[in-house]
Amino acid sequence: MNTPPRWRRPLLSLGSYSLGILLTVLALLVGLRLDKADFSAPFQYEFDAILILPFVKATVERGSHWRNERLGAPGIQELHDFPVVDHLHFAIIWCLGQVWSDPVVVFNLFHLLTYPLTTLTTMFVLRRFGLSVPASLVGGILYAFQPYHYLRGQVHYFLAAYYVIPLTMMLALWICQGRLPFFRKTDEGNYRRALLTWDSLAALVIGVMTASAGAYYAFFACAFFVVAGIYGWIATKTWRAAASAVAVIGIVVLAGIANHAPTFRYQYEFGRNSRPHARMAEDSERYGLKIAQLILPVAQHNPVGLGDRVVLDPAALRSMYQGPQYKELTESEWDPLGFVATLGFLGLLTVAMIPIRKGWPIGPLSALTVFGTLLGTTGGLGSVFNYTISAQVRCYNRVSIYLAFLAIFASCWAIDRFFATRTGWARRWKWPAFLAIIAFGLWDQTNDQWFPDARKPVPGSKTVLDSRSETAEKYRRDREFFGRVEGLLPDGGMVFNYPYLEFPESPPYLEVGGKEKIESYDSVLGYLHTNSARWSFGSMKGREWDNWHRETTRLGLDGNYPRFLEKLCLVGFDGILIDTRGLSPAKFHSLKEGIERCGASFRELHPGRQLYYFDLTGHRKLLEKSFTHFEQEAKAEREAVTVLWLQGFQSYSEIGYEWKSHWGQKSGEIIFVNRSERTITATMSLTFRTVYKGPGELRIRGGEFWSDDLEIGAAPNVYTRELRIPPGRQKVAFRLTPLVNVMPTDSKLELYTITDFKLDERKP
Are 302 and 286 found together in one domain?
Answer: yes
Q: How many residues in total does the chain contain?
A: 764
Residues forming a β-bridge with 498: 578
CA–CA distance, 548 with 285 (Å, rounded to integer): 36
Phi, psi of 331 (to 5 degrees): -70, -10
Are 550 and 593 found together in one domain?
Answer: yes
Answer positive or negative: Cα dihedral of 166, 168, 173, 178: positive
- Say if 294 falls within a structural domain: yes
The β-bridge relationship of strands 309-312 and 708-712 is: unpaired
Which stretches of the chain drop beneath a pLDDT of 50?
none
- Residue 727, domain CATH: 2.60.120
Q: What is the pLDDT of residues 199-246, one digit of tens each?
A: 999 999 999 999 999 999 999 999 999 999 999 999 999 999 999 999
- Say if 332 falls within a structural domain: yes
Assess contact for 84 and 557: CB atoms under 8 A.
no
The contacts of residue 592 (CB under 8 Å, 6+ apart) are 578, 602, 612
DSSP per-residue string spanning 421-439:
T--THHHHTHHHHHHHHHH
Q: Is the peptide bond before 54 cis (omega within 30 degrees of 0)?
A: no
Are 484 and 423 found together in one domain?
Answer: no
DSSP per-residue string spanning 458-518:
PTT---HHHHHHHHHHHHHHHHHHHHHHHHTSPTT-EEEEES---BTTPPPB--TT-SS-B
C-alpha distances out from residue 290 to 149, 293, 529, 632, 700, Å = 18, 5, 40, 60, 45
C-alpha distances out from residue 570 to 222, 623, 715, Å = 51, 9, 42
CA–CA distance, 623 with 616 (Å, rounded to integer): 11
Q: Residue 317: what pLDDT?
A: 82
Residue where a domain stops, chosen among 638, 654, 685: 638
Total domain count for the chain? 3
CA–CA distance, 332 with 334 (Å, rounded to integer): 5
Residue where a domain stops, chosen among 638, 673, 696: 638
Q: Output DSSP code: residue 733.
A: E
Residues forming a β-bridge with 721: 684
- Say if 207 falls within a structural domain: no
Task: Give this prediction's pTM.
Answer: 0.94
Closest CA to 99 of 89, 110, 88: 110
Residues forming a β-bridge with 645: 670
Q: Residue 400: what pLDDT?
A: 97
Are 594 and 681 found together in one domain?
Answer: no
Structural domain range at position 688: 642-761
* Burial class for 633, CB neighbours closer than 10 Å (0-12, 13-18, 19+): middle
Long-range pairs for 484-487: beta carbons < 8 A, 24 or more residues apart: 484/604, 485/526, 485/530, 485/533, 485/575, 485/577, 485/603, 485/604, 485/613, 486/529, 486/530, 486/531, 486/532, 486/533
Are 496 and 541 found together in one domain?
Answer: yes
The contacts of residue 230 (CB under 8 Å, 6+ apart) are 242
Assess contact for 212 and 85: CB atoms under 8 A.
yes
Q: Residue 308: what pLDDT?
A: 67
CA–CA distance, 518 with 524 (Å, rounded to integer): 12
- Say if 553 falls within a structural domain: yes
Q: What is the pLDDT of residues 558-605, one digit of tens each?
A: 999 999 999 999 999 999 999 999 999 999 999 999 999 998 999 999
Are 631 and 648 found together in one domain?
Answer: no
Instruction: For 647-666, give one letter per residue: b (16+ CB within 10 A) or e.
Output: bbbbbeeebbebbebbbbbb
Q: Output DSSP code: residue 289.
A: B
Other CB atoms within a 10 A radius of the CB of residue 20 amount to 24
- Say if 616 falls within a structural domain: yes
Are 651 and 743 found together in one domain?
Answer: yes
Are 689 and 587 found together in one domain?
Answer: no
The contacts of residue 312 (CB under 8 Å, 6+ apart) are 303, 304
Residue 449 CA to chain centroid, in angstroms?
24
The contacts of residue 154 (CB under 8 Å, 6+ apart) are 42, 43, 44, 49, 52, 107, 108, 111, 160
Other CB atoms within a 10 A radius of the CB of residue 531 amount to 10
The contacts of residue 64 (CB under 8 Å, 6+ apart) are 58
- Say if 330 falls within a structural domain: yes
DSSP-based three-state secondary structure for 15: helix
Q: How many CA atoms lie within 13 A of 721 on its CB side?
A: 13
* Burial class for 61, CB neighbours closer than 10 Å (0-12, 13-18, 19+): middle
Q: Is residue 177 within a helix (H) or strand (E), and if so which, with residue range?
A: helix 165-177
CA–CA distance, 19 with 651 (Å, rounded to integer): 57
Residue type, 397: N
Are 663 and 692 found together in one domain?
Answer: yes
Are 611 and 541 found together in one domain?
Answer: yes
Are 654 and 675 found together in one domain?
Answer: yes
- Say if 731 falls within a structural domain: yes
Phi, psi of 472 (to 5 degrees): -65, -40
CA–CA distance, 40 with 182 (Å, rounded to integer): 47
Are 676 and 584 found together in one domain?
Answer: no
The contacts of residue 575 (CB under 8 Å, 6+ apart) are 485, 488, 489, 493, 494, 495, 496, 603, 613, 614, 615, 616, 617
- Say if 117 falls within a structural domain: no
CA–CA distance, 439 with 432 (Å, rounded to integer): 11
CA–CA distance, 77 with 536 (Å, rounded to integer): 9
Residue where a domain stops, chosen among 603, 638, 673: 638
* Burial class for 265, CB neighbours closer than 10 Å (0-12, 13-18, 19+): exposed
Closest CA to 573 of 521, 631, 615, 624: 615
